[in-house]
């Protein structure tokens, strides 16, 4: 398609190409706009900026559609595993049985941490947030694998390492913070079962055998978090990677971006909010009134892209129900979450603003049921998001048009002025 758009400014008109995606979504290609007109586009928060073309994930926020490499998220959650979905995201196709086996073996091969890395844990305070430890440890991996510092390294082993070791780092953090020795990975266990083993094995107890229902729920959770195109953390990974920083540095930056309460930190904030509502007597309508008065924010609701429903939230609600009944657990917070959803979805404030539960609304309920503590929730999100970050980093590094990411700005500060010595400076009036 060679369609062009015309922009009129003053006496002149400029033309720019239109780019069209697989599903017909269109964009003005503004790359030559500054060269042609001297003007830039201004878009704080990137509400309307496409930073790249990508073949990895498709989202239709109006219709609640999420596809990884063309496959609907509902089908992957039902039938795939996290390892298979990771392969799909990173390499573009579902693996053959031989490819899947080789990929699983790669992850098993890289599941241990360098023994010296265990000593790094001793330097953290016992109450350090697990996300601080995760981002530091992932960044530290580059020190142990210095060949990753070579620009344009695409060694499959680095991909395998980061994907495999994040769960070991996370589980070691948990065990250390509970004053227990770490549990080393067991090669005969699959990715998710191995993680549960490393988290919950106790040296004084019998060999931990992960419950298949927990393993299935964890696979689903990780699959649902595995990619979400150009969100804040993925854009961070791309921006850092665009300077040709190594994979570990780029992923570590993504982990830091994910930490914020408006992004991956929301799953932890949701549980905090539900606990507050419970402590205040469980009155969801009163809480919603406060949200509408802008005294509080309904965490786990709203999304920059989904303006109808978040398909991940619907799947997780079903799995939360399923896991709680399998474990014969009653969770008051789940009841409050369901009531809150019901009250919010019938309220004009939320309807008008198209605010619906997002992936974080029910994920915490599932993690709680698995025995994962609240401060680890965002770490769980990070483990799930690793394949997406790798896939975007790889796609970007293989793009022959790759250029360093470098937005521009409109300067609104003081005009040029001369330096004044300290003695001559007069205190500003308050
Ligand atoms: N509770 C109350 N009001 C809200 C909420 C909310 N959760 N989300 C948006 N609004 C209101 C907001 O106040 C604004 O109202 P008005 O136009 O009257 O000022 C309107 O809805 C539009 O909101 P926005 O902040 O302009 O929307 P955004 O696209 O910039 O922000 C968001 C998206 C996800 C940051 C936001 O909805 C939010 O803060 N949600 C709560 C945090 C959360 O659950 N984050 C997880 C997102 S999904 C997973 C992930 O990406 O990590």
Give the tens place of pLDDT for each residue, 257-314.
Answer: 999 989 898 888 999 999 999 999 999 999 999 999 999 999 999 998 898 889 999 9
pLDDT digits (tens, 9 = 90+) for 363-387: 999 999 999 999 999 999 999 999 9
Give the ligand 1 atom nearest the CA of 291: 2
Q: Determine whether 310 is an active site residue.
A: no
Q: Determine whether 110 is an active site residue.
A: no
Report the percent of the chain where pLDDT is more than 70: 98
Mean pLDDT of the 225-235 span: 97
- pLDDT over threshold 70, residue 429: no
* 301 CA → ligand 1 middle, Å: 7
Ligand 1, atom 43: closest residue by C-alpha: 300
Burial 368-391 (b: 16+ CB within 10 A, else e): bbbebbbbbbbbbbbbbbbbbbbb
* 182 CA → ligand 1 middle, Å: 39
Q: How confident is the model at residue 144, as a pLDDT?
A: 94
The Cβ-side half-sphere exposure at 27, using a 13 Å CA radius, reads 14
Do residues 192 and 218 touch, judged by C-beta distance below 8 A? Answer: yes
- pLDDT over threshold 90, residue 155: no
Give the ligand 1 atom nearest the CA of 297: 1
Ligand 1, atom 31: closest residue by C-alpha: 304
Cross-strand pairs, 6: 15
Mean pLDDT of the 414-420 span: 97
Q: How far apart are CA 42 and CA 409, in angstroms?
A: 7
Q: How far apart are CA 210 and CA 196, in angstroms?
A: 6
- The encoded tokens of residue 324 equal 């709680």
Ligand 1, atom 15: closest residue by C-alpha: 353
Out of 129, 158, 228, 303, pick the active-site residue: 303
* 303 CA → ligand 1 middle, Å: 6
Q: How confident is the model at residue 153, as a pLDDT?
A: 64
- pLDDT range class, residue 27, cuts 50, 70, 90: very high
Radius of gyration of the chain (CA): 24
Ligand 1, atom 5: closest residue by C-alpha: 302
Mean pLDDT of the 165-177 span: 97
Q: How far is CA 31 from CA 22, 136, 244, 407, in A?
A: 21, 36, 22, 12
- What does DSSP assign to residue 357? B
Q: How far apart are CA 243 and CA 11, in angstroms?
A: 39
* 64 CA → ligand 1 middle, Å: 17
Helical spans, DSSP H, in 280-428:
284-292, 311-326, 332-345, 348-352, 359-370, 377-397
Do residues 130 and 170 touch, judged by C-beta distance below 8 A? Answer: yes
- pLDDT over threshold 90, residue 249: yes
Mean pLDDT of the 207-232 span: 96
Query: Among all chains, which residue has been given the structure tokens 């008109």?
Result: 13
Mean pLDDT of the 183-191 span: 96
- pLDDT over threshold 90, residue 412: yes
- pLDDT over threshold 90, residue 38: yes
Q: How confident is the model at residue 315, as a pLDDT?
A: 95
pLDDT digits (tens, 9 = 90+) for 76-125: 999 999 999 999 999 999 999 999 999 999 999 999 999 999 999 999 99
Cα-Cα-Cα-Cα dihedral of 36, 45, 388, 359, to 10°? -150
Do residues 297 and 343 touch, judged by C-beta distance below 8 A? Answer: no
Do residues 361 and 159 touch, judged by C-beta distance below 8 A? Answer: no
Ligand 1, atom 13: closest residue by C-alpha: 294
Pocket of ligand 1 (CB under 6 A): 231, 262-264, 266, 291, 297-304, 353, 355, 358-360
Q: How confident is the model at residue 430, as a pLDDT?
A: 63
Burial 211-224 (b: 16+ CB within 10 A, else e): eeebbbbbbbbbbb
Cα angle 68-70-71, degrees, rounded to a multiple of 5: 70
Q: How confident is the model at residue 351, as a pLDDT?
A: 94
Average pLDDT across the chain, whole number: 94
Name the residue of 302, 303, 348 whose CB sits within 8 Å of the most ligand 1 atoms, as the mutation to test its pocket.
302
- pLDDT over threshold 80, residue 415: yes
DSSP 254-301: HHHHHTSTTTTTHHHHHHHHHHHHHHTTS-HHHHHHHHHTTSS--TTB
- pLDDT over threshold 90, residue 219: yes
Query: Among all chains, which residue has been given the structure tokens 């795939």?
Result: 80
């Amino acid at each position: 398609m060679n369609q062009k758009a015309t922009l009129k400014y003053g006496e002149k008109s400029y033309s720019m190409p239109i780019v069209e995606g697989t599903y017909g979504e269109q964009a003005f290609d503004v790359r030559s706009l500054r060269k042609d007109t001297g003007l830039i586009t201004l878009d704080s928060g990137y509400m309307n900026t496409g930073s790249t073309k990508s073949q990895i994930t498709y989202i239709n926020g109006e219709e609640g559609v999420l596809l990884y490499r063309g496959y609907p998220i509902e089908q992957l959650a039902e039938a795939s595993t996290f390892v298979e979905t990771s392969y799909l995201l990173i390499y573009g196709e579902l693996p053959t049985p031989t490819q899947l086996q080789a990929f699983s073996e790669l992850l098993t091969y890289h599941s241990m941490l360098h023994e010296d890395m265990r000593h790094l844990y001793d330097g953290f305070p016992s109450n350090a947030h697990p996300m601080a430890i995760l981002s530091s440890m992932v960044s530290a991996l580059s020190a142990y694998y210095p060949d990753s510092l070579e620009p344009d390294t695409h060694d499959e082993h680095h991909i395998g390492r980061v994907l495999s070791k994040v769960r070991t780092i996370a589980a070691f953090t948990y065990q250390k913070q509970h004053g227990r020795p770490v549990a080393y990975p067991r090669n005969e266990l699959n990715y998710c079962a191995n993680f549960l083993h490393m988290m919950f094995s106790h040296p004084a107890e019998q060999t931990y055998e992960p419950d298949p229902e927990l393993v299935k729920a964890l696979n689903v959770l990780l699959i649902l978090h595995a990619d979400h195109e150009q969100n804040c953390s993925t854009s961070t990974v791309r921006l850092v990677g665009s300077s040709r920083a190594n994979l570990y540095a780029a992923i570590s930056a993504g982990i830091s971006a994910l930490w914020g309460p408006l992004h991956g930190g929301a799953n932890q904030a949701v549980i905090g909010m539900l606990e507050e509502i419970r402590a205040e007597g469980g009155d969801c309508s009163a809480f919603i009134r406060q949200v509408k008065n802008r005294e509080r924010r309904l965490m786990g609701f709203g999304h920059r892209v989904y303006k109808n429903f978040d398909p991940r939230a619907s799947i997780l609600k079903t799995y939360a129900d399923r896991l709680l009944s399998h474990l014969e657990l009653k969770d008051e917070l789940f009841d409050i979450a369901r009531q809150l959803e019901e009250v919010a979805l019938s309220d004009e404030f939320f309807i008008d603003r198209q605010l619906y539960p997002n992936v974080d609304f029910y994920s915490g309920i599932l993690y709680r049921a698995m025995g994962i503590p609240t401060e680890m929730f965002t770490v769980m999100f990070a483990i799930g998001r690793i394949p997406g970050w790798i896939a975007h980093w790889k796609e970007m590094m293989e793009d022959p048009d790759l250029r360093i990411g470098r937005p521009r700005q409109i300067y609104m500060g003081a005009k040029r002025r001369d330096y004044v010595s300290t003695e001559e400076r007069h205190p500003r009036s308050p």
